[in-house]
Structure 1
Amino acid sequence: MTQNTHDVATSNAFETSTVALRIDGVPVNVSAIHRQGTRPPVVMLHGFGSTKEDYADIALHRGFDARPFLAYDAPGCGRTNCADLSRLSIPFLVETAVAMLEHVGFERFHLVGHSMGGLTSLMLAHAMPERVLSFANIEGNIAPEDCFLSRQIVDYPDDEPERFFDAFIERAHRAPAYASALYAASLRHKVRAEAVGGIFRSMVDLSDHGELMDKFLALPCPTMFMYGSQNASLSYLADIERKGVALAEIPACGHFPMYSNPVLMWQTLERFQTSAESLSAAA
């Protein structure tokens, strides 16, 4: 087989860097991948138990050529080091996102967030709605029922972070969902056990009391909710579609489209962002 080396070299160009930040007084060294370009940029926030590499393939899809992007490991995840893991929460992750946006200089941008990253993205978009061109929410929390992972901190309490995390991994490995065993296999390598409790408690609190649905529906930019076909029973789907949110169901997929059906995920994101730009130009 002959490989088109020009296409690969062109599309796979991105930089990896470590950015030293101080978030609410806590030193954080953020590991990021990013590139510049001539089109409106996209910022992508990964979910709990994942890393920036969930999004690295954007550089290989021709529909995103010349589009700048930023993806990075959240504090406590991947190669990002945080000096005080006990301080982690969704507001802490939002502050990290704001600092990273300032670092790369993206003024207006498309936003993509999966799961924990979807909730972080929602809070970020709510805080700076004038800067977000579009928001693709990939099964990020917008209702209490979305806490099927994070609510385990309440349903299976344990004072020992390592023991809780071990049991969490085992439950994920046994779950009858697409890509769940694959997800579980790398959790120990992608998340520090001491980071889990603060993040999960914050996610549960915001999902139960943070009026997330109201925040999501009030965003002035085009919005999309992407979900796996295995989660098509989410109670709010028909309602948010009636209220203007574009739905994107990914077949043969559970909570992780980037693992189960990545080609369709990227095609759907590209069409959505292109359409959002067309709508903005016509307005």
Structure 2
Amino acid sequence: MTGLLIFVGTLLLLVGSYYLFPLPWASLLVFLERTRSGLKEKRLTVDGRTFSYLEGGQGVPMVMVHGFGANADHWVRMAGSLVKHFRVLAPNVPGFGGTSASISERFLIPLQAERLHAFLQALGIQRYHLVGNSMGGNIAGMLAHNYPDEVESLTLLEPQGIESRLPTALDLQIRQGLAPLVPGNTKEFDHVAELLFVKRPFIPRAVYLHLRQQALASEALHRVIWKDLWNNEQPYLLEKNLPGIRAPTLVIWGDANRFLHETAIEKLEQGLRDVRVVRMKACGHAPMLERPAEVLKHFEEFIAHVEPRVPGPTVSAPSVT
């Protein structure tokens, strides 16, 4: 009887701590999901900036770039299968996740692309497959445009940087100079999270609260990044770069995406020289989170038809922790 009471008491303490102190639990749960997917968090300082990134697996590098307000963990649920065949690298873009940034910096897409390229060069990465979602798709497109001999293939999941023929409600707000994806309070964060998915994937409560806390703490920095993303002379930079992208490209688009209108696909099909388009029914703006298995299936079918290039010279990679 005493043993049962101890067990029940311990269980109640654990459950209570989960609800009363969610942030330590969030760190544990994130660590466990990364570990299950074969990824480890590492850090590397490049040009005075400390990059936080996830890495796992061996083989041809697969570089995965997250979107605005997101972080490298958005790729974890796809990575469990990818690490069996690729060296997966998911960096936190400067200003997000654990990668350092200053509010006094500029965060234009060309600058962010060059920062990520310097990061890859520091790791000795010469050729790689490239994947990007939303803002990360715009950055990935810039990398593919500027370094065509390095990018083996390009996968764009609902990329930002294309002016669609029909605007979404969010597009109209953005054109008015608003920042609808930069939450300033818990209600606004919950609203953005609701817009992101058709069917919200399982996210543990502790992790969700941790993400919300991080987003609200970073509001000032994210407003600066948002301004450079949209309020500049070239808010549709990916569209401009399309003709110069040589890499075979897969475009994945959720038809229920409320962030970017699917008429942007028309320009992607017209501007890219080698493109395959997949439309996912009843899917929102982050397919790799909402339906990772389906995205992985489309990606594997695409990558199977990408002809590998002759490997180039290698660069010795620095030791990282």
Aligned to 1:44: 64
CA drift of 1:226 comes to 0.9
Q: Deviations over 1:83-118 (max 9, x none)?
A: 445433323321221121012211011100000111
Going from structure 1 to structure 2, the CA distance change for 1:225 and 1:207 (only over 3 Å counts) comes to farther
- 1 or 2, which has the higher helix percentage? 1
Q: Which residue identity lines up with residue 279 of structure 2 in the other structure?
A: E
User: Does residue 228 of structure 1 match 2:249?
Assistant: no
Q: Which residue identity lines up with residue 150 of structure 2 in the other structure?
A: R
Going from structure 1 to structure 2, the CA distance change for 1:82 and 1:239 (only over 3 Å counts) comes to closer
Structure 2: distance between partners of 1:198 and 1:277:
40
SS of match in other structure, 1:76: coil
CA drift of 1:78 comes to 1.6
Q: Deviations over 1:158-190 (max 9, x none)?
A: 8xxxx9633753542554852579899634425
Q: So what's the TM-score if we normalise by structure 2? A: 0.69
Q: Deviations over 1:217-241 (max 9, x none)?
A: 4311101211112149622424543
Structure 1: distance between partners of 2:277 and 2:171:
23
Q: 1:19 aligns with which of 44, 66, 71?
A: 44
Structure 2: distance between partners of 1:197 and 1:28:
20
Runs of 4+ aligned structure 1 residues displaced above 6 Å come to: 8-11, 180-185
Structure 2: distance between partners of 1:204 and 1:83:
19
Q: 2:242 aligns with which of 201, 208, 216?
A: 216
Aligned to 1:124: 143
Aligned to 1:91: 110
Q: Which residue identity lines up with residue 287 of structure 2 in the other structure?
A: P
1:1-283 mapped onto 2 (5 Å cutoff): 12-22=37-47, 27-35=48-56, 37=58, 39-61=59-81, 64-84=83-103, 86-145=105-164, 152=173, 155=176, 157=178, 165-166=184-185, 168-169=188-189, 171-173=191-193, 175=195, 177-178=197-198, 186-190=211-215, 192-205=218-231, 208=234, 210-231=236-257, 234-238=262-266, 240-241=268-269, 244-277=274-307
Q: Which residue identity lines up with residue 28 of structure 1 in the other structure?
A: R
Q: Give the percent of matched residue pairs that are identical in Structure 1 and Structure 2.
A: 23
The question of whether the paired residues in 1 share the 8 Å contact of 2:132 and 2:159 is answered with yes
Going from structure 1 to structure 2, the CA distance change for 1:88 and 1:220 (only over 3 Å counts) comes to closer
The question of whether the paired residues in 2 share the 8 Å contact of 1:252 and 1:260 is answered with no
Unaligned segments of structure 1, at least 5 residues: 1-7
Unaligned segments of structure 2, at least 5 residues: 1-32, 311-321
Choose 197-206 or 117-126, whichever is displaced more: 197-206
Aligned to 2:17: none
SS of match in other structure, 1:225: strand
Q: Which residue identity lines up with residue 18 of structure 1 in the other structure?
A: R
User: How many residues align structurally?
Assistant: 264
Structure 2: distance between partners of 1:207 and 1:50:
24
Structure 2: distance between partners of 1:274 and 1:33:
24
CA drift of 1:202 comes to 2.4
CA drift of 1:215 comes to 1.3
CA drift of 1:208 comes to 4.9
Going from structure 1 to structure 2, the CA distance change for 1:75 and 1:127 (only over 3 Å counts) comes to same
The question of whether the paired residues in 1 share the 8 Å contact of 2:255 and 2:262 is answered with no
Aligned to 1:5: none
CA drift of 1:143 comes to 1.6
SS of match in other structure, 1:277: coil
Choose 259-268 or 235-244, whichever is displaced more: 235-244
Q: So what's the TM-score if we normalise by structure 1? A: 0.77
Structure 2: distance between partners of 1:147 and 1:221:
29
Structure 2: distance between partners of 1:44 and 1:238:
24
Structure of higher RCO (CA pairs closer than 8 Å, 6+ residues apart):
2
SS of match in other structure, 1:255: coil
Q: Which residue identity lines up with residue 46 of structure 2 in the other structure?
A: L
Structure 2: distance between partners of 1:176 and 1:118:
16
Going from structure 1 to structure 2, the CA distance change for 1:154 and 1:102 (only over 3 Å counts) comes to same
